[in-house]
Amino acid sequence: MRNPLPPVPGKLLELEVSDDVRRGTPLATLIAAPSEEDGDAGLEEIGGVRPTGKAGDVQTVPTGGVRWLAGVGDGEPKQYRKAGAALVRAVSSALEEDVKAGQKAFRAFAVELPEDAGAEHVEELAFGLLLGGYRFTVTAEEPKQSLRTVRLITRHGGDLERVRELAAAAAFARDLANTPSNVKTPAWLAETAVRVAGGIPNLTVTARDEKWLAEQGFGGVLAVGGGSAAPPRLIELEYRPRGAKTHLLLVGKGITFDTGGLSIKPADGMHLMRTDMAGGAAIIAAVRAIAALRLPVKVTALVPAAENHVSGSSYRPGDIVRHYGGKTTEVGNTDAEGRMVLADALVYGIKKHKPDAVIDAATLTGAMKVSLGVRTGGVFATDDALAERVTKAGERVGEAWWRMPLLEDLAETVQGSLGDVRQAPGGPGGIVAALFLREFVGDLPWAHLDIAGPARADKTYADVVPGATGFAARTLVELVASYA
């Protein structure tokens, strides 16, 4: 039988930098919005088209050397990302139109940048071009002709190697999260991590099976994964470069599908829960990029992977579960499964690897969508400097974060009466979940990234297209780089 899915990871566009336009390659040019000097009539016509210059606008020129005019608005770097994303989508549709019209398809296009565009502009544009045209479709016919190369005509290079790895990380995380759950079992996720991230120098990836998890006492992972015919896994990535001073532990929620379990979710949005391993995906993709960039920081990553399903062997509300390391949790709601698997992995990772700091990423609570909407991630941290590092790293790569409080007056709500910890005591969802996790971390500097909102999109914006966004992958790479 034919593999029903596109390859994971998919291919990124090739980026080239050049200082001249090659003949025969369709050309786009970037145009800033009219200034006061341009007067009421606005910008001068190009090939009979008057450019708007509005960021995100792409106009087609019917004749002449330039085929597309892409607006960059006020010319701020951020607008270049928007322009790049809009442009690559317009060029892809033009290519499809050309093919339909029986014309010879082009494989490359060139973008001319204004003289005053510096390294930061080039990098932002590159993010837009590399990610804005991202697609994950599964159809009978694969598109025969697609874009392969984009050539940037500029004298300012920017660090395109870094941008390329960051974009590849975001795209790989999107691929993992977009893969449907009939394919994406915990075992598939583990095998894919081994296949894609293994083989990079100084990086080893190990997949532990349910037997190993049982021997080691991963009660949370086994409870959540126990209701599914597809057994759980623990994915462990170890990046050991020479000369590293800092050791970071990254932990990602890897729920390959979340039905809610016996506390079953409503049918309406349940299909969206195939991206409930987006935190784990971001971490796997980030570690691959960190190793590819040879960053001199020791990184260990753990992704507890399980499917939260309904069956005769599902865990139940009222159960008491013993985690790795011995602490027990009173289960209140089987839909709060993310914290159950993270608790095991946090304790295991800290005990075994003795890191200097811990960062976890998870689509943990729907409440975060209410708090921050769907374009900003929540940062809970026991350490101000670490919270600041995350937010700053996000700013540099185009991901927005907002600090959330670990409110001490709510800390007692996660204390158990029958067991050590209460899993789902009610109250403000995102905060209570973070307080639960804190019980398993100890005194280490720790940041918990709740990405339930921004991990998926239903609209196109910046370099994001509907579906999984790969959110957090780029921030994590940049965060680790900040320790280099």
Give the residue numbers marked as catalytic.
265, 339
Please report how close the Cβ of residue 268 comes to ligand BES at its closest, in angstroms: 11
Does position 429 bind ligand BES by CB under 6 A? yes
**450 contacts ligand BES (rule: CB under 6 A):** no
- Assign 342 to helix, strand or coil: helix
CA 117, CA 383: separation in Å to the nearest integer? 37
CB 315 within 8 A of CB 424: no
Looking up tokens 């005194």, which residue turns up? 443
- The answer to the question of residue 223 lying near ligand BES (CB under 6 A) is no
Q: Which residues contact 184 (CB under 8 A, 6 or more apart)?
A: 176, 256, 257, 274, 277
Indicate the DSSP class of residue 274.
G
In the chain, how long is the greatest CA-to-CA distance?
77
Nearest to 165 by CA among 370, 307, 12, 49: 12
- The Cα 17–Cα 160 span in angstroms is 9
Is residue 40 marked as binding?
no
Name the residue among 394, 353, 392 with its Cα closest to residue 377.
Answer: 394
Smallest separation, CB 311 to ligand BES (Å): 18
Among 175, 258, 399, 420, which residue interacts with Zn ion (rule: CB under 5 A)? 258
Q: Which of 337, 344, 420, 439 binds ligand BES (CB under 6 A)?
A: 337
356 labeled part of a ligand binding site: no
Instruction: Tell whether the torsion through CA atoms of 434, 437, 438 and 441 is positive or negative.
Output: negative
CA atoms of 381 and 401, how far apart (whole Å): 12
Q: Which of 185, 363, 469, 475 binds ligand BES (CB under 6 A)?
A: 363
Nearer to Zn ion, 337 or 344 (CB): 337
| By the rule CB under 6 A, 424 interacts with ligand BES | yes
Q: How far apart are CA 274 and CA 65, in angstroms?
A: 45
- Which residues, 6+ apart, have CB-to-CB distance to 175 below 8 Å? 6, 8, 9, 10, 136
By CB under 6 A, the residues from 201 to 220 that bind ligand BES are none
- CA separation for the pair 109, 135 (Å, rounded): 19
Q: Is 365 in the site for ligand BES (CB under 6 A)?
A: yes
CA separation, residue 87 to residues 13, 225, 291 (Å)? 13, 43, 31
CB of 286 to Zn ion, least distance (A): 20
- Among 276, 307, 439, 463, which residue interacts with ligand BES (rule: CB under 6 A)? 276
Binding-site partner at residue 241 among ligand BES, Zn ion, none, CB < 5 to 8 Å by type: none
Quick one: which of 437, 272, 275, 257 has its CA closest to 359? Answer: 437
Residue 259 found at the interface with ligand BES (CB under 6 A) = no
Return the residue of 336, 359, 404, 447 that touches ligand BES, per CB under 6 A: 336
Query: 91 vs 336, which CB is nearer to ligand BES?
Result: 336
Name which position in 112, 276, 330, 360 contacts Zn ion (CB under 5 A): 276
Considering only 366, 388, 406, 460, the residue that binds ligand BES (CB under 6 A) is 366
337 is in an annotated binding site: yes
467 binds ligand BES, rule: CB under 6 A: no
> How many chain residues touch ligand BES (CB under 6 A)?
14
Pick out the residues of the known binding site for Mn(2+): 253, 258, 276, 335, 337
Pick out the residues of the known binding site: 253, 258, 276, 335, 337
> Contact residues for ligand BES (CB under 6 A)?
258, 276, 333, 335-338, 363, 365-367, 424, 429, 452
> Contact residues for Zn ion (CB under 5 A)?
255, 258, 276, 335, 337-338
